[in-house]
Amino acid sequence: MEVDYLSKVIVGPGRLPDNVHLQSPSLELVNNTDQHVAFRFKRKGGILHAKSTHTIVVGCTDGVFLECSISGDRYVTFKDQSECNEFFEEAKEMGNVVHELALEGIFTRQGETPFPAIPPITKIIVGLSRNDFAELCALDVHPTDRLILTGYESGSRYSEVRLHNYDTPDMAPLRTVCGTKPYCVKFVAQKQQFVAATSDGFIHVYNYGRGIQKIISFKSADYFDIRVADHSTKSYVSSLSAGPIKLWGWNKGSPNLINENTDWKCTQTFEAVQYCLEWPAVFNPKDTNCFVVASDDFTIKVSYVDSPTSNYTLSGHSDKVNCLEFFKRNDQHYLITGSNDCTAKIWDLQKKTCVHTLRAFMSPVHSVVSLRDLPYLILSSEDGIIHIWNSRNSRLERMVTFATIGNIPHLYLMGTRRVVIERRGTISFMDIDNEGSAVTSSQL
């Protein structure tokens, strides 16, 4: 096992002199063996799978202590931190080898780099940070352009949607007031529009081609929490609330003529079942009339736009399903789902069955994205760990831990390889290279 440093200077949060920066080393744990390795780092621990890599972004000023020991096939993952602690206590009592490494916090003068540069697995990218007292409530990323949409609420003072251009991070975002709290924002890329679903049950439609212009608002549900999904090729979006799923279509006129975009109508209402509100419906890229949605009974409903009832149900998770994503393997599309049962499952919709279960998680799986031109699935979990799996062979290749972050509720894909990370009210970025290496970010 090797432990390497990544040399990236992160400015301390106002507690250091102006010319002193904090050198925050990231640990790269590389397991070149055919056995699993247990590790424990501060208050976090886990299993480093055979032939895999784990990057830990430290982000602290004091010394830290790392312990590692061969776990073999006994553990694929730890259920929780207490089981990890018990493993190390037992290993020491049994006389098993436990490697211990003490690391010190490092301070450097501005411009100094005490560690030699190595090929980066983690690269800090400029991001967006919250510069007011507003709460980040909603987020979406444009599927092709470098645009980010955010929804904010600041108590009773205001609620607004902001449009950020990643190419001009120093430029103030475009803003529009949306009245009540925005629970979901979504690009309708094919029309240069976006929608915002707010706490009063309304969906608001805006054009962003030249500034931000409001087009129309319409009532979607009585319940305040609404999730919206955009169909990439068809002229409709779906809305999901505590009631039924609704399909909204619009006039097929020119997207540049606002008066031809005001005719939004509900074209289909689907059966009212208890859906999971954390994740919107997801359309099947191979069959554009098919979509999937998570249900509160721990299943996934597979439906078609021309039928008000679900076509069939996928069962297998033992707790709530939090996220869904389609990906392509060997010219066939599969569905991956993440759950509170600390697993992710891969489904073959042609066979209507689960073909693989990913089990390396210590906490609920909250979000998943698939890269468009690389065979990787990126999943985040409640304990602040991002897992990078090879979609061809379902093998865990890399993990990235943000040691002080905690829950990572949502991931988004910008372009083909940049993953946008929502965490604690801030937005960060992580690039994935050809080898599956993670390139992580600072705040946006």
With contact defined as beta carbons under 8 Å apart, do 84 and 37 qualify? no
pTM above 0.85, yes or no: no
The span from the CA of 200 to the CA of 291, in Å, is 26
Residues in the chain: 444
CB hemisphere CA count around 194 (13 angstroms)? 31
Per-residue pLDDT of the chain (444 residues; tens, 9 = 90+): 443 332 222 222 223 333 333 334 566 777 777 788 888 876 677 888 888 877 776 654 445 577 878 887 777 778 778 888 889 888 888 888 787 766 554 443 344 443 333 233 333 333 444 455 678 888 999 988 889 999 988 766 678 899 988 777 666 788 888 778 888 898 988 888 898 988 888 889 899 988 889 988 888 876 545 566 666 666 667 777 666 788 887 655 444 333 444 567 888 888 755 566 566 788 888 888 898 989 888 999 998 888 888 889 999 999 999 999 999 998 899 999 999 999 999 999 999 999 999 998 989 999 999 998 889 999 999 988 899 999 999 999 888 876 555 688 889 998 888 888 887 777 778 888 765 555 554 444
Amino acid at 342: C
With contact defined as beta carbons under 8 Å apart, do 291 and 300 qualify? no
The span from the CA of 239 to the CA of 8, in Å, is 43
Sign of CA dihedral 113, 118, 124, 125: positive
Pair of tokens at residue 127: 């991001």
Query: At residue 318, what are phi and psi to the nearest 5 degrees?
Result: -105, 5
Element (H, E) at 87: helix 81-93
The span from the CA of 348 to the CA of 334, in Å, is 5
Residue 201 CA, chain-centre distance (Å), reads 25
Adjacency order of strands within the sheet including 37-41: 44-48, 37-41, 64-70, 99-103
